[in-house]
Amino acid sequence: MIAIIDFWKRSISRVSPIGENSMSFLPQRLHAQIILIVSCILLITGIISGWITARNQTAGLLAAKRADASIMARNFAESCAHHLLVQDYAELESFLVKAAESPDIRRLQLCEPDGALVWDVVHNPGEQPLAKTGLTRLAPPGSGSAVIIQETGRLVIWQPVMAGNLLGWLKADFSLSAIREAHTRTWRKSLFLAMTWVACSSFLIVLLLRPIARSIENLTAFSKQLDEHKGAQISVTGQSLEISELGKSLNEASAKLLSTEQQILAEREQLRKSEENYRRLLVTIQEGIWVIDTEAVTTFVNPRMAEILGYTADEMTGRNLYSFMDDHGRQVAERNIERRKQGVKERHDFEFIRKTGERIFTRLETGPIFDEAGEYAGSIAAVADITEARKASMQLHASEQAFRAVVENSPDVIVRYDREGRRIYVNPEFERVNHLTAEQVLGKKPVELSTELAPMAELFTEKLMVAMEFGAVTKIDLSWVKDGRPVCWYVRVVPEFDAEGTVVSALTIWSDISERKQIEEEIRRLNEELEQRVRERTAELEQTNEELHKLNRLFVGRELRMIELKEQIRELEGKE
């Protein structure tokens, strides 16, 4: 029965435009609701049963009435045909008046085939039939057979008057008041039986539901006290199965309520600690956190985010996102927000304007926020200030461009190796000297590919790995003979370190010194020849000097002799 009541309430709630308020007319007590609803159901059932009975009875009476009326009309038509054939109109009038005295007949009209009225007999209730004639015309049926028409409160029959040929038409109006009265009597009996049925059923329901109602009241009082007496139990012995199940459910709910309360308290404490940790994280994190709503209005920023833009958190909260950028930035931001609405998460760089007007560059990790209905509710972004990193990156890029310009236009061969000794970069001069493209040699070790270095590949690899192992700049001289011609390379190995000081690669600079070696060898040979010639010339000069020394002694002796002779001559001349 309770299930029927619930179904009935739900049905009313679905069809009623005011929902639950439509049940306000019901009593609050369950047994009163059951009595009212059952009474309504029984009453409606009795009414429907009475209506069906009355309808079936009326249909039967109406069918019988149609059959009787058809027979009477046919007999009246035959009598009228007889009087018309003998042209005894006085007897015809007398017959029609007498026939109209029947309580069910209200009117008899006789007309010619073209509708010209011959006699019109009217029988009003409580009066004698009255016959009259006139110039009135009727509209008989077009067919030659009888026609029965049911109108409001009466049954009309058009019966042809035949005597071999069509002599005219008889229109008979029969009253249906007797059928209406029978229908009304049936309705009254049905309503009386329904009311009696409702009264007896209500009395029986009261006797049946009183103990159940008391049990439900006890369970209701117990359920109201569950909030204050969590874990309490109620006795449900000696009750009906439904009440016992309900009591057991309340006892289980009481125990679960106590357990749930304890669990909620524990979870609430855990949530409080989690919120404290989360709040502490937002305060101490080195990245800014920025949250906006569907209108791009700032709803939350952490202190680091406010610090990045030079504001306080209160100054930024409530301000539109677009107020922290220029017009170009706004266009970019609007496109980005449209992607957030589509559920796109992405990472990108963005330029903001600080409170001082200074432009800063940031890196954003952005994602959408959706509500429980799956509708877009805003966006959240983790913001990092990369202004200094961007400047350093630009400087590094410029430095790399300068380095690349020098390296790629260097007359020396330049090769970079990783820690495994594989080539990770070669400059154009390497390609020219070895007649190989960068794609052919990158990722390969010196011993894996035949190049200009092939004769000394193993020795070079050994010294390269030693240089990277110790992280020291190393100079290597490599010499071999190719096609009868000496080949000489001077290699400078420069280890490259990462931010932690670990060697990650090595840059090698190769200088072809074959020609210089040849020139040095030629200079050495010429020096030796020159030294030999100098020695030979020195010997010749020493011999010449000896001879000159001898001649010089000879010349000096002669000079001395001449001087002596001149002295002797002067002495002789003085004596004379």
Residue-wise pLDDT tens digits, 529-561: 777 777 777 877 778 777 777 777 777 677 777
Within 10 angstroms of residue 523's Cβ, the number of other Cβ atoms is 10
Average pLDDT, the chain: 80
The listed CATH number (3.30.450.20, 1.10.8.50, 3.40.440.10, 1.10.3720.10) that belongs to domain 285-392? 3.30.450.20
Q: For residue 518, what are the contacts with CB-CB under 8 A and spacing of at least 6? A: 486
In this prediction, residue 13 has a pLDDT band, given cuts at 50, 70 and 90, of very low
Spatial CA neighbour of 67 closest among 174, 160, 164, 143: 174
Q: What pLDDT sits at residue 498?
A: 87
Token pair 């990158």 in the structure block, residue: 442
Token pair 């877009």 in the structure block, residue: 376
Least trusted range by pLDDT, from 49-53, 71-75, 228-232, 438-442: 228-232
- Sheet containing strand 117-122, edge to edge, reads 130-132, 117-122, 105-111, 165-175, 154-163, 147-151
DSSP tag of 229: S
- Provide φ and ψ at 288, rounded to 5°: -80, 145
Q: What pLDDT sits at residue 346?
A: 92
Burial class (CB in 10 A: 0-12, 13-18, 19+), 254: buried
Give the integer Cα–Cα distance in Å for 94 and 190. Answer: 45
Q: What pLDDT sits at residue 226?
A: 67
Residue-wise pLDDT tens digits, 55-105: 887 788 888 878 888 888 888 888 888 888 887 778 888 888 888 888 888
Handedness of CA 426, 432, 433, 434 (dihedral sign): positive
Q: For residue 128, what are the contacts with CB-CB under 8 A and spacing of at least 6? A: 101
Give the integer Cα–Cα distance in Å for 167 and 163. Answer: 7
Within 10 angstroms of residue 394's Cβ, the number of other Cβ atoms is 10
* Averaged pLDDT for residues 39-44: 78
Q: Record the pTM.
A: 0.35
Strand partners of residue 150: 155
Spatial CA neighbour of 517 closest among 552, 472, 471, 479: 479
Superfamily name and number for 410-512: PAS domain (3.30.450.20)
DSSP tag of 137: B
Within 10 angstroms of residue 560's Cβ, the number of other Cβ atoms is 10
Residue 502, helix vs strand vs coil: coil
Task: Calculate ∠ Cα 501-503-508, nearest 5°.
Answer: 130
Give the integer Cα–Cα distance in Å for 248 and 236. Answer: 7
Q: Give the end-to-end CA distance of the chain in Å, rounded to a whole number.
A: 196
Q: What pLDDT sits at residue 159?
A: 87
Q: What pLDDT sits at residue 505?
A: 92
Query: Alpha carbon of 266 to those of 262, 269, 273, 280, 520: distances in Å?
Result: 6, 5, 11, 21, 89
Residue 173, helix vs strand vs coil: strand
Give the integer Cα–Cα distance in Å for 279 and 285. Answer: 10
Residue-wise pLDDT tens digits, 271-299: 888 777 777 776 667 788 999 999 999 99
Q: What pLDDT sits at residue 16?
A: 42
In this prediction, residue 512 has a pLDDT band, given cuts at 50, 70 and 90, of confident
Q: Which of 97-101, 114-118, 229-233, 310-314 shows the highest mean pLDDT? A: 310-314
Q: What pLDDT sits at residue 27?
A: 63
Residue-wise pLDDT tens digits, 391-440: 887 887 787 777 777 777 788 888 999 999 899 998 888 888 888 888 88
Q: Per-residue b/e over 146-183, b at no fewer than 16 CB within 10 Å?
A: beeeeeeeebbbbbbbeeeeebbbbbbbbbbeebeeeb
Q: Tally the residues of the chain.
A: 576
Q: Which of 57-71, 126-140, 278-292, 318-332 shows the highest mean pLDDT? A: 318-332
Burial class (CB in 10 A: 0-12, 13-18, 19+), 132: exposed
Spatial CA neighbour of 240 closest among 267, 209, 270: 209
Residue-wise pLDDT tens digits, 447-500: 887 676 777 888 888 888 988 999 889 888 888 877 777 888 888 999 999 888
Q: Which residue has the higher pLDDT, 17 or 318?
A: 318
In this prediction, residue 339 has a pLDDT band, given cuts at 50, 70 and 90, of very high
- Sheet containing strand 423-426, edge to edge, reads 423-426, 413-418, 503-512, 485-497, 474-482
Least trusted range by pLDDT, from 34-48, 163-177, 469-483: 34-48
Class of domain 27-224 as given by CATH: alpha beta
Q: Which amino acid is at 4?
A: I
Give helix 30-86 / helix 177-224 axis angle, nearest 10°.
170
Q: Which residue has the higher pLDDT, 507 or 554?
A: 507
